[in-house]
Amino acid sequence: MADAISPDTTLADLGEFGLIAQIGEIVATTAPGDDVLLGPGDDAAVLRVRKGHVVVSTDMLVEGRHFRRDWVDAVDVGHRAAAQNLSDINAMGGRAQWLTVGLATPADLPAQWALDFARGFAEECAAVGAGLVGGDVTRADQVVISVTAIGACTVSPVLRSGAAPGDVLALCGRQGWSAGGLAVLGRGFRSPRVLVDAYRRPAPPYDAGPIAAEAGATAMIDVSDGLLAEAAHLADDSGVSIDVETGTFVIPEPLLAVGQATGADPLQFILGGGEDHPLLATFPPGATLPEGWTRIGSVSARGELPVTVDGAAYDGPTGWTHF
């Protein structure tokens, strides 16, 4: 167990190697054993790859852009940083096994924040049996986190480019909850708590990706930036058009409450919201959808628009844009 430190201890006080040693103790019990030949501490980790396809994904979180420390505590930032990468592997139909993390922070950041971040990160990794096997720390003017996840697919990876006319569009996992929580926090409130908690800590359906791959999913993506934005990626990469049917959505009561309080259409949280990390996939016509998947639209030959909503152009927000 990592040694207790004073709340007044900063990262400058603890030092680079002191921080690495403390994080090493936190993650030591979560890293898988047999396939990790060499974990944190050397110039690189050494891993054993057995069979299947190796899949790799990298994502970043930047303070002030992706999170605020007054809105999200360090443990939840750790969960979020791990989840968005674990979800990318999930969206390929695979399972993450190892992760590395680069952490840049101000020197006066409380050391406990970094250790709490590591604890949340390790807890999220443990949810899929993955482990932290290395990384780097450095100084910066704000907190910047870069995570790389490495995993494997036991069947062929499910790409974004396999959707075909006649396929059905389906969703697995909650969608729009994080966007509702962000809307609440942006107005200075903390309720409905269930939405704020969803923003702070996503709950991706980690088992759904491999199951969908086994069930014959033709294309798949995780919804990190917005449902319609991700549907457009599938449509563009597959050379098809996708129609999303709003009548298939049951809007949960908390989103209805936020819509009434803010004057926003709660359906916009579902269509344009991100960071819940559900999976969006297409399946062949007539396929039996796996448990937990809901049909929300259809795929047709490429038309004038890549994505429509209820058969027409949509002029609302479709998702997050980074630039």
Is pLDDT at 41 greater than 70 in this prediction? no
Amino acid occupying residue 42:
D
Report d(CA 198, CA 276) in Å as an integer. Answer: 7
| Integer Cα distance of 250 and 197 in angstroms | 20
162 annotated as a binding-site residue: no
Find out whether 243 is annotated in a ligand binding site. Answer: no
58 assigned binding-site residue = yes
Question: Mean pLDDT across the stretch 25-42?
Answer: 66
Q: Is 320 annotated as a binding residue?
A: yes
Is 13 labelled as part of a ligand binding site? no
Looking at residue 59, what is its pLDDT?
A: 94
**Residue 207 marked ligand-binding:** no
Rounded average pLDDT over 137-165: 95
Question: Looking at the DSSP assignment, which residues form a beta bridge with residue 309?
Answer: 244, 312
Total residue length of the chain: 323
Instruction: Specify the pLDDT at position 303.
Output: 97
pLDDT score of 323: 44
Tell me how far apart the alpha carbons of residues 98 and 89 are, in angstroms, rounded to a whole number.
Answer: 11
Cα gap 207→202, rounded to integer Å? 15
Q: Which residues pair with 302 in a beta bridge?
A: none
Q: Where are the domains of the chain?
A: 11-153, 168-309
Q: Does the pLDDT of residue 322 top 90, yes or no?
A: no
What does the pLDDT look like over 234-247, one tens digit per residue? 999 999 999 999 99
Q: How far is CA 161 from the centre of its chain?
A: 20
Say whether 136 counts as a known binding-site residue: yes
How far is it, in rounded angstroms, from Cα 275 to Cα 80? 9
How would you class 108 by CB atoms within 10 Å of its CB: exposed for 0-12, middle for 13-18, buried for 19 or more? exposed
What one-character-per-residue DSSP string does 21-71 give? HHHHHHHTTTS-STTEEE-BTBSS-EE---SSEEEEEEEEEEBTTTB-TTT
First to last CA, the chain: 42
Q: What DSSP assignment string belongs to 123-158?
A: HHHHTTT-EEEEEEEEE-SS-EEEEEEEEEESSPPP
Return the structure tokens found at 290: 């796996």
Report DSSP state, residue 289.
P
pLDDT in tens, 42-71: 566 677 777 778 999 999 999 999 999 999
What is the distance between the alpha carbons of residues 136 and 182, in angstroms, rounded to a whole number?
Answer: 30
Q: Which residue has the higher pLDDT, 22 or 58?
A: 58
11-153 and 168-309: identical CATH topology:
no
- Is 66 one of the annotated binding-site residues? yes
Q: Give residue-wise pLDDT tens across range 153-190.
A: 988 999 999 999 999 999 999 999 999 999 999 999 88
Fold for 168-309, please state it.
Phosphoribosyl-aminoimidazole Synthetase; Chain A, domain 2 (3.90.650)
Pick the CATH number of 11-153 from 3.40.50.920, 3.40.50.620, 3.40.50.12280, 3.30.1330.10: 3.30.1330.10
Q: Give the chain's mean pLDDT.
A: 91
Its pTM stands at 0.87
Percent of the chain residues past pLDDT 70, beyond the cut = 92
How crowded is residue 41: how many other Cβ atoms within 10 Å of its Cβ? Answer: 11
User: Taking residues 79-92, what's their average pLDDT?
Assistant: 96
The pLDDT tens digits for 248-306 are 999 999 999 999 998 899 999 999 999 999 999 999 999 999 999 999 999 999 999 99
At 3 the pLDDT is 60
